[in-house]
Chain A
Amino acid sequence: MSHPNPYDVQKAEILNVIEESPQIKTFQLKLEKPLEFKTGQFVELSVPGIGEAPFTPSSSHYESEEIEVSIMKTGSVTEKIHEAKKGDIFGIRGPYGKGYPLDKFKGKDVLLLGGGVGLAPLRCLLQTLIHDIDDYRSITVCFGAKTPQDMIYKDQIKEWKNYDRIHQLCTVDECKPQDDWKGRTGVVTVLLDDIKIDPAEAVAVVCGPPIMMKFGTFSLIDKGLKEENIYLSMEKKMYCGFGECRHCVMGGYYACKDGPVFTYDKIKDVEKIWE
């Protein structure tokens, strides 16, 4: 039996680069062949000869020929990725991991809690939810960033205001008087004071820096959300994406294969999940 080489990639041509913030760029990619993925899954993106890193697409999973990936400059590979221009070629392979179980979201209040570049997978999820928006009771979006300049997807945030079913709240940790900022100030969990959901029936999806995920989770539990309804994106070191390199092992789980999204009840007893 012949098996595909799991390390093999297809070509992804950069159609456009959007500067979202000083540290984050969104790359619109045209793929050689469709890459069917489910929202919540991730891909490995590579600069040929330089290296690979895992990213979650930030565009709807209903589009598989052109996808978007938002990338923060944090290490050597992402630094090279940020140097890429329209027309350059990336390598891409995947998808990996398990997607969000959208069936379990249906008929419920869905809360998206995100910070920084953690908004990327949430935008993918939100755009997918919008596709079938009547299936969900409500969608509440709580987005945070360090400063108004660091807030990404400003244009989409304006567009999402047009949906009655979407309630949208934004905050920044700090802003200067000269900043044109109309949202709240404070860490993203402050937004949870203003949301109107039925905690017993709501699902929450959390993605952001570890410290934000930790306190976000605790705040949601305080509000009455069930542990099994809190979905967390686990950022762990990954090389392969499919369970070979073992770097992302969390107890008996692999972040790559069993995640990267886990419900809190599943991993709350795994040590050091917030680090």
Chain B
Amino acid sequence: MGKFQKGLLLMDKAALAKFFKSVQNQFDIFLPYEIDKDDPDNLMLKKFRNEEKFVINKYRTIDPLKSLFYLSSESVLPSTTKNKQRIIAGVKNCDLLSLGVHDAALLEDDFVDPNFKKWRENTYIISGDCDEALSTCHCNILGHNAYPDTKGEEMQKYDINLSPVDDEYLISIGSEKGEELLQLIKQNCEITEAEKYHVEEVERQHKEIEEKLMQINAEFSPERDVSVVSKVKDAKVWEELCEECVQCGGCTNICPSCYCIIVNDESINDDFKRIRTWDSCQLSGYARVAGGESPRDRLWERFRNRYQCKFDFIKQNFSQYGCKGCGRCISVCPAEIDLREVIKALQEV
């Protein structure tokens, strides 16, 4: 057993909305909600305003978690992060793992991003197990689960995790902040001891979602060798793979672990702000220097760079892959390019 209580406590599902209502003045609360869209991929993070039909489990949202920790555009000088405490709930494991990439890059490396640090410190994360999957979900083939690791000893990225069992949630605490949050929940809701049935039921559900993901990704080997992204250098192969790419940069913007930025100064009267804004390595000007040279002038080179970054460069920098299998880049792509298919094609070269 780890330091914190895992899967020993229970709370009523309906009590969660009651809790959020009671603390909404103290916290900005963000939750996944279904939006009106004729597609199962229809969850979006929205601010809680007494609307009880939020979704804690199911699967990932359309928008990546980074949009609340590493904003698409924000002033870093002066740093404009809000001081108000936040709760983000219904976070899925792919987003938690991606947050781990950002922690490694933006907090634990040799500099600290001022805004990211403050957003991290001000935020309590309530994660939820996935109990359904989209056709683009593929965390399993990257060796991850559709639910946070509540068994490991190490410090977790979630503060509290909720596994659904019938009308209740099985609660796991992942951090000191999770303990704090639990005390707050206890003030508003009844927490009871879990029984063997609840624990077994969660384990059964975990197996069920694992099997579902295996079915979805049956044609993609879990033991796939991703080093092909750097080994395959043939322009013809890559040109064919990116033939349909329209260079919109959607794949990198929606990726929960991509964090490339541009930094610009904006003047305001006699003063100025330094703004960092998401950038995309898929855009032609990305690596071009003032003299005009660019190491990746051609589309296929930029297309390949994204795969190399995810499966080679980030691995060299932070000992983990930059892709956690959320599948958002597949869903967003207007050209219907599927990352899984690209890697499969490279393996077959």
Contact = CB atoms under 8 A, between A and B. Distances in A.
Interface string A43-84: 000111111110000000000000000000011011000000
Contact of B264 (A47, A51, A236): A51
Contacts of A179: none
30 contacts: A3-B117, A5-B77, A5-B114, A7-B76, A7-B77, A7-B274, A9-B77, A46-B265, A47-B265, A48-B265, A49-B268, A50-B267, A74-B290, A235-B289, A235-B293, A236-B289, A236-B295, A239-B262, A243-B105, A244-B276, A245-B260, A245-B261, A247-B287, A251-B313, A252-B312, A252-B316, A271-B233, A271-B295, A272-B295, A272-B296
B335 interface: no
Interface string A1-35: 00101111100000000000000000000000000
Contact of B265 (A49, A240, A243, A252): A49
Contacts of B112: 3, 6
A74 B292 CA distance: 9
A40 to B, nearest CB: 18
Interface in B259-315: 259-268, 271-272, 274, 276, 279, 281, 286-291, 293-297, 301, 309, 312-313
Which range contains the number of B residues in contact with the other chain? 35 or more
Interface in A226-251: 235-237, 239-240, 242-247, 249-251
Interface string B231-275: 001000000000000000000000000011111111110011010
B197 interface: no
A271 B312 CA distance: 13
A209 interface: yes
Interface in B290-349: 290-291, 293-297, 301, 309, 312-313, 316-317
Contacts of B289: 235-237
A232 B306 CA distance: 26
Contacts of A254: 317
B110 interface: yes
B79 interface: yes
B134 interface: no
B266 A49 contact: yes
Nearest to A242: B111
Given A49-B272, A243-B109, 8 more contacts: A5-B77, A242-B111, A243-B111, A246-B309, A247-B260, A247-B286, A272-B296, A273-B295
A75 B113 contact: no
A249 B309 contact: yes
B111 A244 contact: yes
B106 interface: yes
A252 B317 contact: yes
Given A243-B110, A272-B296, A209 B291 contact: yes
Interface in A241-273: 242-247, 249-252, 254, 257, 271-273
A186 interface: no
A51 B265 contact: yes
Nearest to A49: B267
Contacts of A99: none
Nearest to A9: B77
B141 to A, nearest CB: 24
A49 B276 CA distance: 13
Contact of A237 (B265, B286, B312): B286
B224 to A, nearest CB: 21
Contacts of B233: 271
A251 to B, nearest CB: 7
Interface of B: 76-77, 79, 105-106, 109-114, 117, 233, 259-268, 271-272, 274, 276, 279, 281, 286-291, 293-297, 301, 309, 312-313, 316-317
A275 interface: yes
A210 interface: yes
A209 B312 CA distance: 29
* Most central of A78, A240, A249 by chain B CB within 10 Å: A249
A236 B287 contact: yes
B114 A3 contact: yes
Given A240-B263, A243-B109, A7 B317 contact: no
A62 B282 CA distance: 42
Nearest to B281: A246
A82 to B, nearest CB: 13
A53 B316 contact: no
Contacts of B79: 5
A5 B76 contact: yes
A242 B17 CA distance: 43
A246 B259 contact: yes
B105 A244 contact: yes
Contact of A275 (B111, B259, B281, B294): B294
A54 to B, nearest CB: 10
Nearest to A209: B291
Nearest to B114: A5
A127 to B, nearest CB: 25
B328 to A, nearest CB: 19
Contacts of B290: 53, 74-75, 77-78
Contacts of B313: 249, 251-252
A240 B76 CA distance: 11
Nearest to A240: B263
A49 B77 CA distance: 11
